[in-house]
Amino acid sequence: ALSIGIVGLPNVGKSTLFNALTKTASAQAANFPFCTIEPNVGDVAVPDARLAKLAEVAGSKQAVPARIQFVDIAGLVKGASKGEGLGNQFLANIREVDAIAHVLRCFEDGDVTHVEGRVDPVADAETIETELMIADLEGIERRAANLVRKLKGGDKEAKLQQALLERAKAALEEGRPARTVEVSQDEAKAWRGLQLLTTKPVLYVCNVAEDEAGTGNAHSAAVERMAEAQGAGSVVISARIEEEIAQLPEEEQADFLETLGLEEPGLDRLIRAGYDLLGLETYFTAGPKEARAWTIPRGTTAPRAAGVIHGDFEAKFIRAETVAYDDYVTLGGEAPARDAGRLRAEGKGYVVKDGDVMNFLHGA
């Protein structure tokens, strides 16, 4: 499963948020060895209102949501790249995740110590980003040193890597994260292979006070402006409130949300934003046994999408039948959609669209 690492300075609300994510009924918390320390890993359902509707129309016994992993990467502090705190181990953990949810303290509370003695989320974001940039620069030095011998041998791949390292280094030395470097399609694979920390997509999570969950505040507004300028995402939540919501029985959650003037738990927005950030989409399968959401990267072709269910379905793909979600629901299921001419047969080149209800025909 794709994973999102939760990072941030100490005392900003990471654990509170992670607890909320993993305490909801649909989540399962798991602890397992991960490098040498053990960050918490939570496997979380991706909320999607379409799934329940689909299960209802298809008469499915159960609805199985898509899942995404959140990893609690605590302990990143100023000086982490110099090995302060548990520095290097945490940086290694960040390397493993696909995207970063960066929690920023946007709440004022005299009882909760701020490591820098003041609430300034934009400066905090820079502190962490700087650590990641320094770590990247050091990683680049190491990689460049390893390339020397290969370059002497005239290795083409090494030459490409060297050129990319140079470009990343130039950006970092100007104080820009590596994600600002433009990379062509031909270079994309080698670029990913460099495993730079500052190429990972970032979602800023503004942790505001309980009574600001619906509105945000001046701090979160400043973060939103920063995020926009960087092409990053941002969401406003109150980790404390989310923890409370997560602990309530489901039938009481709606009432509680209404009292707070919230339409849905902030976690749902956070999870969806993470899903978007990773460039992911959903297609569905629906039958009497289950309706199920499957995760694919945007732009995935039908055979690859089939391969998410089972590798053999990709290898022995014949064709796909598909009904758009809206048609499926409005017309009342697969058979009526077929009768109405809304069920399409698609071949190997078909790019699956978000919300497609799929049937795969295969020789497996």
Of 1, 212, 245, 182, nearest in space to 106 by CA: 212
Contact present, 104 and 202 (Cβ < 8 Å): no
DSSP string computed for 201-258: -EEEEEE--GGGTTT--HHHHHHHHHHHHHT-EEEEE-HHHHHHHHHS-HHHHHHHHH
Q: Which is nearer to ligand GDP, 13 or 307 (CB)?
A: 13
Q: Is 40 annotated as a binding residue?
A: no
Q: Is 335 in the site for ligand GDP (CB under 6 A)?
A: no
Q: Is 11 in the site for ligand GDP (CB under 6 A)?
A: yes
Q: Is 12 annotated as a binding residue?
A: yes
**Pick from 52, 112, 123, 151: which binds ligand GDP (CB under 6 A)?**
112
Q: Is 239 in the site for ligand GDP (CB under 6 A)?
A: yes
Task: Give the number of other Cβ atoms within 10 Å of residue 311's Cβ.
Answer: 11
DSSP string computed for 285-304: EE-SSEEEEEEEETT-BHHH
Q: Which is nearer to ligand GDP, 10 or 333 (CB)?
A: 10
Which helix (DSSP H) or strand (DSSP E) does residue 154 occupy?
Answer: none
Select the span of 25-33, 236-244, 256-264, 323-331 touching ligand GDP (CB under 6 A): 236-244
Select the span of 3-11, 20-28, 63-71, 195-203 touching ligand GDP (CB under 6 A): 3-11
Which helix (DSSP H) or strand (DSSP E) does residue 165 occupy?
Answer: helix 156-173
Task: Say how far apart CA 75 and CA 11 lie, in whole Å.
Answer: 10
Select the span of 81-89, 237-245, 274-282, 356-364 touching ligand GDP (CB under 6 A): 237-245
**Pick from 209, 221, 262, 318: which binds ligand GDP (CB under 6 A)?**
209
Query: What's the order of all strands across the beta sheet hosting 280-286?
Result: 62-64, 290-297, 280-286, 357-362, 317-323, 344-346
Per-residue x/- marks for ligand GDP, 240-279, CB under 6 A? x---------------------------------------
Footprint on residues 47-76 left by ligand GDP (CB under 6 A): 74
Contact present, 106 and 219 (Cβ < 8 Å): yes
Which helix (DSSP H) or strand (DSSP E) does residue 178 occupy?
Answer: none
Task: Say how far apart CA 232 and CA 6 lie, in whole Å.
Answer: 15
Q: Is 22 in the site for ligand GDP (CB under 6 A)?
A: no
Residue 25 CB, shortest distance to ligand GDP, in Å, is 21
Q: Which is nearer to ligand GDP, 79 or 287 (CB)?
A: 79
Of 44, 49, 46, nearest in space to 325 by CA: 49
Residue 196 CB, shortest distance to ligand GDP, in Å, is 25
Residue 167 CB, shortest distance to ligand GDP, in Å, is 34
Residues forming the site for ligand GDP (CB under 6 A):
8, 10-16, 74, 107, 109, 112, 207, 209, 238-240
- State the binding site for ATP: 11-16
- State the binding site: 11-16
